[in-house]
Amino acid sequence: MLNLAYPLILGNLLQQGYNIADTFIIGRTLGAKALAAVGSSYTLMVFITSIFIGLCMGCSALFSMRYGAKDYENLRRTQAASLLITGTSTLIIFAFSCYYIQDIITLMQTPQELQDMTYDYLKIIFMGIWFVYLYNYYAYLLRALGNSLTPLIYLAVSVVLNIVLDIWFIVKLHYGIEGAAAATIISQAVSAIGLCFYCWKKVPETRFSRKDFKVSRQLLKQVFSYASLTCIQQSVMNFGILMVQGLVNSFGTAVMAAFTAAVKIDSFAYMPVQDFGNAFSTFTAQNY
């Protein structure tokens, strides 16, 4: 259980370390307004990411059960059913986010002087929603099989690349807040596509084909049941933080910038506990 949990904890600590570095680079080079705009967007993206994590976590419990039983045919069918459900959910989130981007900014009570900057950042970040989904899907698939180290390696590559691109785009090329957004989605794309190819090449048990997509209504119902419940569980706290962000935004740029720094530091406190829970659920599901 500890061998499963430690890479998860290290991965999230690495991610939080990047968030601190990102905050430092943006705050020191682009100023408090840019930091406030990115911070307001950060809580929104954490909420959206928690939806993906919840969906994939629910599916991963079923993956673990199939894998633990060495029922690889049903594992692939469960993968196909989960792709249909999570892929459709991602499409809905993507379409909604892109169409209502200005309404979301207004709903979050973003100050007028930050709205254009926030819009410029989010319009690029939302393009990377597919990569966030793809990485989490395959990361939770590998973790379900007991491999939590490989997703950590790809995450580490993504984090290092993100920091390098942040410095290059913001400090060297002076692309501003759009450069920060571009650095994020490029690094996400590298880790997501890389992990996808790794699973396809190195884990033959998960290599599904067209016939696996002939799934029964009962299987779809089972996958949806698991995915929807864990989605609610994972996203409800982050939805609360998102609502608090809307309140914080009403106090202006300085308070928004301070809240951004505090939220990212606070993440260090609860992430390890959450990761232990995720590792234990995988261990239990395989044995079940």
- Structure confidence by residue, pLDDT tens digits, 222-271: 999 999 988 898 888 888 888 888 888 888 878 887 887 787 777 777 77
Q: Say how far apart CA 230 and CA 214 lie, in whole Å.
A: 25
- % the chain with pLDDT above 90: 33
Q: Where is pLDDT greater, at 137 or 275? A: 137
Cα→Cα distances 202→62, 130, 207, Å: 21, 23, 9
Q: Say how far apart CA 280 and CA 240 lie, in whole Å.
A: 26
Cα→Cα distances 277→10, 208, 271, Å: 14, 29, 10
Single-letter amino acid, residue 171: V
Return mean pLDDT, the chain.
87
Contacts 24+ apart (CB under 8 A), 3-7: 3/148, 4/143, 4/146, 4/148, 4/279, 4/282, 4/283, 5/148, 5/275, 5/276, 5/278, 5/279, 5/280, 6/148, 7/148, 7/149, 7/151, 7/152
Residue 182: pLDDT band (50, 70, 90) is very high
Q: Say how far apart CA 83 and CA 87 lie, in whole Å.
A: 5
Closest by alpha carbon to 79, among 140, 130, 150, 154?
140
> Could you read off the pLDDT of 23-47 as tens digits, one per residue?
778 888 888 888 888 877 877 888 8
> Could you read off the pLDDT of 126-171 as tens digits, one per residue?
998 999 999 999 999 998 998 989 999 999 999 899 889 989 998 8
**Residues contacting residue 134 through CB under 8 Å, at least 6 positions apart:** 192, 193, 195, 196
Single-letter amino acid, residue 12: N
Q: Say how far apart CA 244 and CA 147 lie, in whole Å.
A: 36
**Residues contacting residue 207 through CB under 8 Å, at least 6 positions apart:** 76, 200
